Structures are given as structure tokens and as C-alpha cells.
Structure 1
Amino acid sequence: MKSFRHRLLMMIIGWIGLLLAGLFLIISQLFPIYTQLENPMTIWWLLLLLFVIAMIISTVISYHIIKIQAQPIENVTETALELVKGNYRARAVESGTVGAVQLSATINVLARNLQEITAVRQMEQERLKTLIENMGSSLMMINRQGRVSLVNKPFLKELEMSTEDVQGKLYKELNIPEVLADFIEKVFMTETADRDQIDFAIGLHQKHLDVYGAPVMGEHERWLGVVIVAHDISELKRLEQIRKDFVANVSHELRTPVTSIKGFSETLLDGAYEDTPTLLSFLEIISKESNRLELLIKDLLELSKIEHAGFQVNAQPADMKAVIERAADMIYPGMEEKSIFLKLQLEPVMVLGDPDRLIQVVMNLLANALTYSASETTVEVRLYKEKDEAVIRVKDEGIGIEASEINRLFERFYRVDRARSRNSGGTGLGLSIVKHLVEAHHGKLKVDSEVGVGTTFTIYLPLAS
């Protein structure tokens, strides 16, 4: 722009200089008298003066001409340079001659279009980034050189890695499970889509992934790399295993009393009924097994009802001290028969809950303590307030639970000591019912245990306002 201005200035000065030179030539021809003066240098000084004045006038005129003609062009050029730098908010001043105004307006339209396109592109990039980071599945893209070009947070979390461990590195250099590396290698080398279910250990946890890999194709069917998508199905696998265990356990639990009832009934029908002592003994066993079968079916129906999505408790202000005392009265005969001392330390506390369901919770916890506690031990029940919650703590001196088994404690039919709990008549569903009822009251359940020392169940329930 400066060279344009200089060229324009020199052109104007040149034209004015030629004009003055011609003017001086005409003057010297029309007025030859001046050349006969005694001091002929006077006319040259006069001409020099006129030339200086003409130069000053021409400079002023040139400046204004340049300002009018060149400044809009310079402004448009500066705006274009800003657009090249990526500043699409820059605008040219729409002033000057008609041509300059049209040029400025065109540049401004271009700038607005670029700004809108950039805004749309940024919005799409943000949407894509948000989608990739929050899609729930692990995603990794590998370019045609075999380097990781994109990886999302679920992938890093799943494999317990950081972005620095993955980004820009060859997929063969990644510290990932061998089965996953083999799957990536297969998709990358064959350039064909594939799907598989893999499992591997991460620390102490077993992971199950449903992985899908496919080639990424660009324009003209150009191969750009591969994309790997993995979905964690560990929870589904766990639930599937629980379902299988549930079916197996139900079959076993139902088969035992049914087998007993059928066996003793057939024995009686074969003639044992004629022996009165044998008859009474067998009938007592059949009655006991029938009661056990009835209790099992009742607990299964109860648990099914509690686990239903629409299940709600009849929450109302309830005297938790009275609830525990009533449950203790119901379990006391069993405690007395086994010579177990029941110690109650209860403060007056009002909770928001269903009294009948809360009695069921306390009864199941006391029955569990009774089942796994030896004679001449103590079961302690405490009730007190802690901040804005009621705390119910049931502590026994039983066999205790291994730390690895605590997470499975509330599974249906799971037993720490199968022989002891089955002989006691338990169904294996009590703690599952406790867990779901506590959650239905918007409470929390905590377990602390030590093998050979005992177990403590702690329940936190909201206070009644």
C-alpha cells in the first residue's frame, strides 16, 4: 500500500512539474524582455520560487488526493490481512469513492460469511467433542501410520491410562491388555470390520468388553485408519451370573424340602404309618419342611415385590425405638433358647418410614445375628441420632465375614456358612430384603466385619421433620 501511495504521489508531482516547466517556457517566450535585465539571475530565482510554491501546493493537493483514493484501499488491505490471520471479526470502512465502497462492502460480506462458517464449524466441533466424550462407550481412532489420533475419556478410564500415555503413540506401543491389542492388530491389518467380546483383568477387577472395529474411509475410498469402539458389559455379565446363580439356588432350595416331603411321605405310604412314633416323627419333619418351603416362597414373593420399579413404602413419622423393641420381643424366644444375650441401647428417635417394613428390617438383622452367633454371646442394638440421620447399629459376636465376601453379602441365597444357615431354617433372602427396604426408605446400609470377632450392620435413615 505504501508503494502504491508513493507511485501515485510521484506521478502527481511529475505532472505538476511538467506543467510548470511548460508554463515557464511559455513565459520566457512571450516576455523576452526579462532576459535583457541587468541581472538575468533574478528571473531564475523567481522561477525557482514559483517552482517551490508549486511543489508545496502539489504536495498538499497530492496528500488530499491520496487520502481520498488510497486510504480506502489501504483499509481494505489491512482488513484482508486480518482475515488471513483468522480474525473474522475485522471489518473495512465503507467510505470513499464508489469503487472503494463496493470493494469494502465485498470484503465485509466475505468476512461475515467466514465468521458464520467458523462459528458453525466450531459449534459442530464442540458437539462432536461432547458426543465423543459422553457417549458412554470407549473410542479410539488410529491413523494410517498406526498412531493414535483420537481417544476419549471412557477409554482412558476403562484402561486406567492418561492422555499422555496414548495420544500420538503407535498402537503397538500401548500398554493395553494383550487380547485388546490382538483385536486392534487384526482390524488394522485386514482393514475389515470386526466384532468380539473380550475379557481381561485390570488390577483386582475383571473387565468384559464388547469391542467393534472398522476401517475409516475418506474421499475416493481412501483408507485413513481404523476406529475402535468398546462397550463395558461387566455389569451385564455380573447380572447374568447372578441370574444363573439365582436359578441354581432356587432349584436347590426348593428341591431339598420337596425331596424330604416326598421321601417321608412315600415311606409312610409304604407302611411306616402303622408305627405311631415313626408316624409322628415323619409328620413333624414333613410339617417343618412344608413351613420352610412356605417361608421360602413367601420371601421370594416379598423380594420380587420390593424389587419392583414402582415399589414405595408408606413413609410417615415412626418411633424407631418402639420399632426395635417390638422386633426384639419377637426374636427374644430364639435368643433365649440359644442363650444369647440381647443388649439394647436405644434413644428416642423419630424417623420417616414405614413401621411395618422397618420391623421387617430389624427382624431380619436380628435373625441373621442369631443364626451366625454362638451360645453365650451378646447381640447389641444401638439407636441414636447423628447429624440429620437416625443410626441403627446391630452388632454380633458371630463367625464374621471375609472382606472379599462382604460385597456379595446382599445377593439372593448367598450364605457365608451354608450348612449352619440352612440348618437354622433360613432362606438366604433376608439380607437382600433388608438392602432393598433400606434403599426404599432413602437410607444407607454399611457392613463392618472381622472373621472370628463378629459383624456390625449399620443403617442410616432420614429423621422425621
Structure 2
Amino acid sequence: MKSLYSRLVIACAILLSVLLTGLGIVLGQFFPLFSENSNLILQRQYWFFLILTLVIAFVLSLLIATRMMIQYARPIDEMTKITSRIAHGDYLARIQTSESEYDNDLAKGINKIASNLQEMSTMQIMEKERLKTLIESMGSGLLMFGRGGTVNLLNEVFKTTFGLSENEVVGKTFKDIGLPIAIENLIEDVFMTEQVRAEQVRIDISDHPSYMSVHGAPVIGRHGNWLGIVVVIHDITELIRLEEVRKDFVANVSHELRTPITSIKGFTETLLDGAMHEPAIMKEFLGIIQKESDRLHLLIDDLLELSGMEREGFSLMYSPVNVKDMIGDAMDVVSRSMERKKMNIVAEIPEGLIIDADADRLMQVMVNLLSNAINYSKEETTVTVAVTHDMNEAVITIRDQGIGIEQSELPRLFERFYRVDRARSRDSGGTGLGLAIVKHLVEIHGGCVEVDSTIGVGTTFCVHLPILHNK
């Protein structure tokens, strides 16, 4: 497409040609006057004058046309090019107003429009990046449907949760994606009613039950027009699990507290009803009351102990601990229980092994593990305590010859109040909190505890502790 500048040049050339032709015609009217009567010199002078006049007129016309084109046509042509670039998205294009012919209100207005468009484009890009970052950094899955009912936006969490790719989702309706039925029904309700809906649903992903909090809401534009819906899916499986743990904990605490309290209350009422006048029965009942009171006291102490360890600000008192001396002290604490069951302890502990630890807390760990080994072992069996170490870690192994534990029970062994054999555990005087305390104390030291067991053979606990404390 020809520019305005080119069109003006052509127009000026045509105009000059017409003017010169007309001028030649006018001057040619005088030519007959000199054709017969004038001499040759006069004719030559006439032709020279005619040609010179035409040349001067052409040059003057050309200068005037050029000046007009430079002053008016070229700036307009340049502005047309700049506005065309701006219209095609090049918001950095500017008219150079430093030259006098471009220093006018039109050029300044075009530059101002380009500057505003550039600023708006930059803000739009920034907002788009912020929105993208916000959507991708969400801990919940997000799915957005347009007015036509097809998906036009989703984030990485949604793709990871449901194992879908962007190509499998974008441009499809919620019926075509393959979402769980409960989520499909919620999305359909939001489309039909244009009202906010929220629901907790249970779905099976990779053969594992998961719980999702699904929130659907219509997207309303600034002027009240309906743009689509947005669905946010948050995985609450861990929250549901923690809620179940809390409920189990409350139920277990209530049960464990009720049992000794019921016994104490029952035997006290029996004594008050007249049994206290029979010394033998009174002595027996008072012994039971004392035993249940001790159990109740021990349970409350363990609960307070565990609660204190989980409280923020709980810390250990680190000091150099001789592992052999610490285990020896723990063995002394449980020695009476071992004597009653005629059991032996075999210790395989290297001399001079020193670790950074809280001596009292580590002693508590060993007493709990040794007590478990004794309580759940048969009489006249052996408990083996072995210690190995390398440059970074010490491993304390406690192996008994007890009744053993089913493999299916091992993952829950360190839960509070979890008992493999409730009747046997209660008879042993345990509270069901000992292993939970052991696990917590070992982990606070920066270590871990492992368990392995075989029914009828025995159980082995391995406590891994760092040699040095990382301050």
C-alpha cells in the first residue's frame, strides 16, 4: 500500500506536467507571429526564453511541492506507520518529537496513547503472572469452568491429585473429565442453581480412601453477568485422620480412667456396706483399691509427661552420657521385676561409649523398653541388651523371648493407648502410653526407634541415637 508521501509525489509530478503543458500551450499561441516575418535570431531568442521559463517554473513548482510534502505529508506518513505498529501491539513505538515537523499535538497524543497502552500491557502481564503464581502455589486443587461449561483453567495440585494432564481436561465439560460422581454432582448443582455449594466427599484414589473438601461457587462479573464457576478441592485426609486419632484418644483416656475409678468406687461402697467389719475382706479390698489408685496415678503421670513433651518449648538437658552406666542403672530399676519372673539379662555393651543426650530421659526410654520386655516374656527367659556404634550413631537393641506381636499390629504399636492384648496389658499394670513416650523422647533426641517381632519367638526394639548433638 502506497504511503501518503508517495501519493503526493506522484500528484505533484502530474500537476507540474499539467501546468507546464498549459504554459507551453499559452506561449505557443505567440509562435505564429514570429514564424514568417521574424528573423532567425529572434526565433532562437524566443525558444530560449520559452524553455528557460518552463525550466524556472518547473524548478519553482518542484521546490514548493517538496517543501509542502516535507512539512505536511512526511510527518503524517510517519505517524501513520507508528500508529499501525501500535495497533499491532508494538507499544514501544514512539514518534520522535525532537524534529520540528513532528513536534505537534497529534504526535504528542499518539505517544501518550502508546505510553498508556504500554503501561496497561505491563500491568496486565504482571497481574497475569501474579494470578498464575497464586493459582499454582495453592495447596488446593482448582478447576474453573467458562460460561459454556468447559474447563478453561486448572492448577498443578488438581492434576497431581487426580492424575490428569492439562490436555485431558481443558476444553472439556465436567462430565467428560472422569471426576468422582460426588464432585460431578456438586458441580452440576452449582451450574443449575448458580449458588455456592460446599461438601466433604470420600473418594478412592489409587485404591486408597481420601477425603476432600469441595467448594463450588459461581463467578460473577463486574456488571453482574455470569462468567462460569470455580471449584476448589482441598485434601482433608490428614485432618480426618487426626480427628479420628483425637476421638480414639479421648475414648481411650475415658476408658482407662473409668476402669480404676469404677473399681475404687465399687470396693469402697462394698466396704461401707459392711465388709469393713471383716478384717480379711477389708484388707483384700484395700489392697485392690491401693493397686487401682497406683494405676490411676501412673496413668495421670504418663499423660502429664506426654503432654509436657509435646508442649512448645520443651527441651532436653544435654550432657555426656556413658551408655554402659546408663543401661546398668536402668537394669537396676527393673531388677525386682526380673527376679519375680526368674529372668536373666545378657548385656553386650562396649566400654567407654559416650553420647550427647539427656541422661534422665534416656534412662526413662530404657526402663520403659526393659519393662515391656519383662512384662510380655515368659518366666525363666532371657532379655538381651546389645549396643553397636559407628562414627555418627549408636544403636541400642533390646531383644526378648516373649509372646511376640503380629506383623499387622506393628505399625500402630507406638500409638497412645494402643494395646495388642488389652487384657494382658492391663494385668501387667501398663498404661498404654509407655511406647508413645519412648518414640517421642527418641525423636526429640534426633533418633528413631524400630521394632520387629515374631509370634512365639520374641520382639526386638532398636533405638538409633546420634553420637553428637547438633546444636
Give the TM-score band, short-chain normalised. Answer: 0.7 to 0.9
Tell me if structure 1 keeps the 8 A contact 2:143–2:158.
Answer: yes
Aligned length: 461
2:107 to 93, 104, 109: 104
Unaligned stretches of 5+ residues in structure 1: none
Q: Which of 206, 230, 234 is the aligned partner of 1:203?
A: 206
1:307 equivalent to 2:310? Answer: yes
Q: Is the 8 A contact 2:354 2:467 kept in 1?
A: no
Which amino acid is the alignment partner of residue 343 of structure 1?
A
Aligned pairs (5 A) from 1:168-207: 168-207=171-210
5 Å-filtered alignment, 1:378-393, equals: 378-385=383-390, 387=392, 390-393=393-396
Cα distance in 2 for partners of 1:57, 1:348 equals 115
Closer/same/farther in 2, CA of residues 195 and 462 from structure 1, 3 Å limit = farther
**2:428 is the counterpart of 1:424:** yes
User: What residue in structure 1 maps to residue 358 of structure 2?
Assistant: 354
**Which residue of the partner structure matches residue 292 of structure 2?**
289
SS of equivalent residue, structure 2 residue 94: coil
Structure 1 residues 338 and 242: alpha-carbon distance in aligned structure 2, compared to 1, 3 A threshold: farther
Match of 2:337 in 1: 334
1:414 is the counterpart of 2:418: yes
The letter for the 2-side match of 1:429 is L
The answer to whether the Cα contact below 8 Å between 1:406 and 1:447 also exists between their aligned partners in 2 is: no
Aligned to 2:9: 9
Q: Is the 8 A contact 1:68 1:97 kept in 2?
A: no
Residue among 233, 245, 248 paired with 1:245: 248
Query: Counterparts of 1:33-112 in structure 2 under 5 Å?
Result: 37=40, 66=69, 69-98=72-101, 101-112=104-115
| Cα pair 2:324 2:349 within 8 Å, conserved | no
Contact 2:212 2:234 (8 Å CA) reproduced: yes
Structure 1 segment 448-459 matched on structure 2, within 5 A = 448-452=451-455, 454-459=459-464
Question: What is the deviation of 1:172?
Answer: 0.9
Measure the CA separation in 1 of the matches of 2:335 and 2:52: 130
How far did 1:296 drift?
0.7
Q: Distance in 2 between matches of 1:12 and 1:2?
A: 15
Shift of 1:9: 1.0
Q: Given the superposition, is the C-alpha separation of residues 71 and 280 from structure 1 closer, same or farther in structure 2, using an over 3 Å criterion?
A: same
TM-score norm. by structure 2 comes to: 0.81
Q: By how many angstroms is 1:295 displaced?
A: 0.7
Superposed CA offset, 1:407-452 (max 9, x none) = 43332211223233222111111122223333444x1424343543
Contact map agreement 2:350 2:387 (CA 8 A) in 1:
yes
DSSP-derived class of the 2:167 partner = helix
1:235 aligns with 2:238: yes
Q: Do the aligned residues in 2 keep the contact of 1:140 with 1:150 (CA within 8 Å)?
A: yes
Change (3 A) 1:28 1:150: closer
How far does the alpha carbon of each residue in 1:243-288 deviate from its partner, in whole angstroms, 9 at most, with x for none?
2212221222122223333444455553376354x55544443333
Query: Retained in 2: the 8 A contact 1:412–1:429?
Result: yes
Q: Is the 8 A contact 2:3 2:77 kept in 1?
A: no
The CA deviation string for residues 128-176 of structure 1, in whole angstroms up to 9 with x for no partner, is 2333333433332222332222223333344344333332221012222
Partner Cα separation in structure 2 for residue 369 and residue 317 of structure 1? 27
State the distance in 2 between where 1:56 and 1:386 align: 102
Contact 1:400 1:449 survives alignment (8 Å): no
Q: How does 1:207-222 map to 2 (within 5 A)?
A: 207-218=210-221, 221-222=224-225
* Deviation, structure 1 residue 114: 1.0
Cα distance in structure 2, aligned partners of 1:385 and 1:77 = 81
The aligned amino acid for 2:202 is D
Name structure 2 gaps, 5 residues minimum.
none
| Amino acid paired to 2:371 | A
Rounded to whole Å, the distance in 2 between the matches of 1:327 and 1:131 is 55
* More off after superposition, 5-14 vs 369-378: 369-378
Structure 2 CA distance for aligned equivalents of residues 71 and 425 of structure 1: 103
Of 283, 298, 303, the match for 2:301: 298
- Measure, in 2, the Cα distance between the counterparts of 1:349 and 1:85: 78
Residue in structure 1 matched with residue 468 of structure 2 by the alignment: 463
Say which of 212, 216, 228 aligns to 1:225: 228
Change (3 A) 1:6 1:50: farther
Note closer, same or farther for the CA distance 1:220–1:262 as it changes in structure 2 (3 Å cut).
Answer: closer
Q: How big is the shift at 1:52?
A: 8.4
8 A contact 1:400–1:455 mirrored in 2: no
How many Å separate the matches in 2 of 1:403 and 1:450?
A: 7
Q: Is the contact between residue 348 and residue 386 of structure 2 (CA under 8 Å) also seen in structure 1? A: yes
Amino acid at match of 2:117: L
Matched-pair contact (CA < 8 Å) for 2:24–2:54: no
Q: Percent identity?
A: 44
Amino acid at match of 1:384: H
Q: TM-score, normalised by structure 1?
A: 0.82
CA distance in 2 between partners of 1:17 and 1:399 (Å): 121
User: Helix, strand or coil: the match of 1:210?
Assistant: strand
Q: Offset of 1:88 from its aligned partner? A: 1.9
The separation in 2 between residues aligned to 1:317 and 1:81, in whole angstroms, is 80
Distance of aligned partners of 1:379 and 1:313 in 2 relative to their CA distance in 1, 3 Å threshold: same
CA distance in 2, matches of 1:46, 1:371: 138
